[in-house]
Structure formats: C-alpha cells, structure tokens
Amino acid sequence: MQGSQVWQFSIVLSLAVLVTPGPHYDNRTRTNETAILLSRPCTLMEFVHTAQCFQTQFRLLCKGGITGEWIKGFQEHITELSVLEWPGACFNVARLQEHFPELRHLALVNCSHLTYFKGHFGPTSRIEKLSFHGLTSLWELPGEVIAQMPKLREMDLRHNVLRHMKAKLLRSPPRLQKVYLGGNKWDCSDGGLDWLAMERDDGTVKRLIADYRDLMCHQQLYRGKPLHRVMDIIRSVRQTCPPPCACAMTHVVSDRAGNIIPLITVNCSSQGLEAPPASLPPSTTTLRLEANKINTIRTILQNHQYKKLADLYLDNNSIPSVKELEGSEWFSTFRVLSLRGNLLRQIPVYAFDKAFQSNNNIMQVHLGHNPWRCDCHFIPRFQALLLKYKRVIHDLKDIRCSKSDDKETSLVQISTMSLGSVCTSTKVRVPLSTINVVNLVLCALILLVLGRFLYDWHLFKTTGKLPWISSILP
Ligand SMILES: *[C@@H]1O[C@H](CO)[C@@H](O)[C@H](O)[C@H]1NC(C)=O
Ligand SMILES: *[C@@H]1O[C@H](CO)[C@@H](O)[C@H](O)[C@H]1NC(C)=O
Ligand SMILES: *[C@@H]1O[C@H](CO)[C@@H](O)[C@H](O)[C@H]1NC(C)=O
Ligand SMILES: *[C@@H]1O[C@H](CO)[C@@H](O)[C@H](O)[C@H]1NC(C)=O
Ligand SMILES: *[C@@H]1O[C@H](CO)[C@@H](O)[C@H](O)[C@H]1NC(C)=O
C-alpha cells in the first residue's frame, strides 16, 4: 500500500506540473506530456485524484477520470455512466465492466487523448447503448471491443474522427439494431471500407447504419464526396474489373451536375497475357499491359471500350509494328503511349507527325529499347520526328539503332547520330537502281561534251583551227 501511495503521489505531482503551465511550458514539455500519458498503466485508477464524479440516482457522471470510491467493488445500482474528458490515451473497458456490471448505457465524451481500449466487453455485459462523441484521437473502434456484447442494441459514434471500420464492428454484436456514424472522417480511398461497398443495398449491415445516406468521405481522393456514392462506384469497379487485372481509382472528378466520375487505372502487368482484356470498367483512363506477350495493337484500337483510354502502357511486349495507329481515332486523342521494349523496327513517321500535330492531349510517348532499323531510308525522317517532338518523346536517349556488326550504327542514339553514318556508307552497298544508272550515263555524257568543248577551244586558241563541227554548220 505504501508503495502505491507513493506512486499515486508522484502521478499527482507530475499532473500538477503538467496542468500548471509555467514559462517553461514549450513544445518539448508538450511532446513529453503525450509520452507520459502513453506510458501510463491502463487501469482506470490513473486519474483518481483529479477526477470529479456526480451521482443522480442510478446515473453517474465523471469528469477528468473516475474517482477512487467508484472503482472499488461492484457498483450494481449504476446503470448509466458518462465519462467526460478522460485524460488518458487508454481506457480499460474490461475493468469498467467489472466495476459496473449493471450498466445499460455508457457514454464517453470529449476524451481528446483516447487512442485505444484495453480489454473488451465480455458476454456478461448488459450494456444496450454506447455513445462515443468527441474522441478526437481515436481513428478506429476495433470490432473486438464490442463483438461479444450480447445486449448491445444501439451505437452512437457521431462526431468523432473515425476513419476506418472493419466489417466485424457491425456484424458481431448479435442484437445490434442501429448505428450512427455521421460527423466522422471516413477514409473511403484506402480499401478499409471496401467490404461495405460490396454489401448489397438491402444488406443487413447497411440497414443498421441509420445515417448511411448522410455520411461523407473525408480523406484524400474522395474528400467531401457522399460516402454512399463512392461505395457504389467502388462496387461497380470491382464488378467490372477484368481478371486477372487489378483496378484502382486514381482520381475523382465531379461534373457540372455534381455527378462523381471516377478515373480508373486497370493494371494487367506481368500476367502473361497474349491479348488485352476484352472489357474494361466504364471510365477507365489508364491501362497498364507491361511485360505481357501481346504482339499486336489492332485489338486495342478496334475495341470500342478502349475509346476513352488516355494512357496506354505496352512496355516489354512483342509488338513488331504499329502501322495500325495510322488513321485510328484513338491516335488523335490519346495522352500517353509507351511502347518501350518491343520489337519495333520502324514506325509510320508521317502518321506520327500528323497525330502529334493535331492531338492536343498528348503528353508522353516512349519508344526506347526497340531494335530500330538504321538506314538512310528511315533514319532521316525518324530523326527529324524525334527532334521536332522531343518535348513529347520522353526517352530519346534510349531510342537507339538495333545491335549490329556495323560499329558506326550499332546501339547509337538516333536523335543525335550524324546522318552521314547511315546515308553514305550504306549507299555504296546498295545495288544500282535504274534511275542511278541513267544519272551516271547522263553525267558521263555531260563530261564528254564539256571535254570536247575544252579541247576544241584549246585547239582554236593555239592553231586558229575551227572545230570540225563548225565546218558543217550553215
Ligand atoms: C511548437 O510551437 C510552435 C508555436 O509556439 C508551433 O508553431 C509548432 O507547430 C510547435 N511544434 C510542435 C512540434 O508542436
Ligand atoms: C522528454 O523528456 C526526456 C527526459 O525525461 C528527454 O530526454 C527527452 O528529450 C524529452 N523529449 C522531448 C521530445 O523533448
Ligand atoms: C464536448 O466539447 C464540445 C466542444 O468542445 C462542447 O460543445 C460540448 O458541450 C462538450 N460536451 C460535454 C458533454 O461536455
Ligand atoms: C501492377 O501490377 C504489378 C503486378 O501485379 C505490380 O508489380 C505493379 O507494381 C503494379 N503497377 C502499378 C502502377 O500499380
Ligand atoms: C522492361 O524490361 C526491362 C529489362 O528487362 C526492365 O528493366 C524494365 O523494368 C521493364 N519495364 C517494365 C515497365 O516492366
């Protein structure tokens, strides 16, 4: 007993220091105050000396803790308990049930430090209603705390900062009929409420939530959006997501009418696919098909479900040609196209030039790590395209000639290579075409005529003899 009194005395002392802000009360002591609260044992006894309790018949209201007289033995005549401004980070519910076995209604109000519960309510609990309000540090009420409460009928959790909720919280208590969840900070974006999204509208859990239609999402992506609408969207995306891909909402926009439009990314990377999925969730904007076995983009361009697609990632596939892009509608509206690591040897340069000029959405095109054909026929036009649109083509330094025995071109960066290295050396090797033969003949004739003229002129100058041709002209 002596020991525990000393312990309690030291608590009182430290509290006195904490609640009497002096000139030394700065950031550091504030941080340490929290540290002290967290390191306290969690017994319900911690604040007996600072607490105040008031009883009216079977009701008890305690503020700043619970006084010692109420945490002795069994308080069987108390059926309603309100705990205001509990100063600790932890609240021991198992102990509470022990000392107040007949409780029907428990309220915890304005406990701004409370972050977790110790123990849980057991099967002997007679509590029918729980009211938690103003718990400004509690992000989640774990299902285990209330799961075994046989009599719990109503739970009012309004005006806290709850973000997450597991299915267990609402499914476990057998008699639960009504739950209020408004005024919290629900995080609809992190998958923590996906189970709720997948519930049918007439599902038992959704019907328990009395204010379901008034709930709002509060974090990140969905901040300020009605929770029930977001849940509908999550469900629809889940149901339309093509296996084996993963679908995620990356942005949410609202149109003029206030409808929520989700922007969805479908990730089918590294799934060994030989063809893109046949269908996509409505309003899919990004499709990732990296590291698959796709060998044509025709199916993508022909599928009308892909029309709204803005960003298409096809890295590390086996696509040998993209000539289908020419004239396709998608090519004049897309935003990102990544074809890195495919088998492209050339592209329809003119079609790319035309699309790049007319497409105002275009942001990024990636063409690196393909076995580009480096000859005088393709390179001058391709290089001109790369330089003209270097703002859009993001991986110029990876766009290189294919590996070959020709040291002058093998793996050389195309945007900076000198055209001489492809256009002179290759010309010699190219067999003579008809037009070149004609050119050579004409050239020889010109030289012949010129030579004859010079010879005649020289002869005239030295001997005065006119050339033979002038003797037969009239
Ligand atoms: C420390 O106090 C200053 C004002 O005195 C405040 O702006 C700052 O956020 C505090 N820092 C921490 C970590 O609480
Ligand atoms: C809290 O107090 C301890 C000494 O009790 C001190 O060593 C520590 O630096 C303090 N923490 C902060 C954040 O000031
Ligand atoms: C809890 O705090 C809020 C705001 O600080 C106040 O309006 C309300 O009256 C408090 N509730 C109780 C029961 O003290
Ligand atoms: C797409 O899925 C693959 C495989 O499941 C994963 O490794 C990758 O990180 C995902 N990519 C994105 C952008 O989420
Ligand atoms: C493509 O393959 C290369 C080389 O194997 C690898 O470094 C790169 O990370 C891959 N890219 C994607 C998007 O899978």
Count: domains in the chain: 3
Compute CA distances 284 → 245, 249, 266, 362, whole Å.
Answer: 13, 9, 7, 17
Lowest pLDDT segment from 7-11, 86-90, 151-155: 7-11
110 lines ligand 4 (CB under 6 A): no
- Cα(328) to ligand 4 centroid in Å equals 28
Q: How far is the CA of 33 from the centre of ligand 1 (A)?
A: 14
Q: Which domain holds residue 355?
A: 260-429
Please give the distance, rounded to the nearest whole angstrom, from the Cα atom of residue 3 to the centre of ligand 1: 38
Asked if residue 239 has pLDDT above 60, the reply is yes
Last residue within a domain, chosen from 219, 250, 281? 250
Bridging pattern class, strands 246-254 and 260-267: antiparallel
d(CA 259, CA 255): 5
Whole-number Å distance, alpha carbon 355 to ligand 4 midpoint, is 30
Q: In the prediction, which pLDDT does 10 show?
A: 45
Strand partners, 54: 61
Say whether both 332 and 392 belong to one domain: yes
Confirm or reject: Cβ of 134 under 6 Å from ligand 3. Answer: yes
pTM: 0.66
Atom of ligand 5 nearest to the CA of 270: 14
Write out pLDDT tens, residues 346-373: 999 999 999 999 999 999 999 999 999 9
CB 185 within 8 A of CB 165: no
Q: List, for residues 286-332, the tens digit of each pLDDT value.
A: 999 999 999 999 999 999 989 889 999 999 999 999 999 998 999 99
**Whether residue 425 has pLDDT greater than 70:** no
Same domain, 65 and 121: yes
Mean of pLDDT values over 88-111: 95
Please identify, by atom number, the ligand 4 atom nearest to the C-alpha of residue 267: 1
User: How many A from CA of 398 to the centre of ligand 5?
Assistant: 13
Cβ neighbours around 150 below 10 Å, total: 14
In a domain, 474, yes or no: no
Q: pLDDT at residue 104 above 70?
A: yes
Residue that terminates a domain, selected from 250, 276, 299: 250
User: Do 134 and 241 share a domain, yes or no?
Assistant: yes
Q: What angle do CA 222, 194, 157 make, to 5 degrees?
A: 75
Top-confidence residue, 190 or 227: 227
Q: How many CB atoms lie within 10 A of CB 143?
A: 17
Domain boundary among 230, 250, 270: 250
- CATH number, position 312: 3.80.10.10
Query: Which residue in 372, 342, 367 sits closest to 352, CA to CA?
Result: 367
Between CA 306 and CA 310 the distance in angstroms is 9
Residue 469 has pLDDT above 70, yes or no: yes
Q: Are residues 33 and 158 in the same domain?
A: yes
206 and 303 part of one domain: no
Ligand 4 in reach of 271 Cβ (< 6 A)? no
Q: 200 and 86 share a domain?
A: yes
> In this predicted model, which residue has the larger pLDDT, 47 or 426?
47
| pLDDT tens figures, 17-43 | 344 343 444 555 566 666 666 667 888
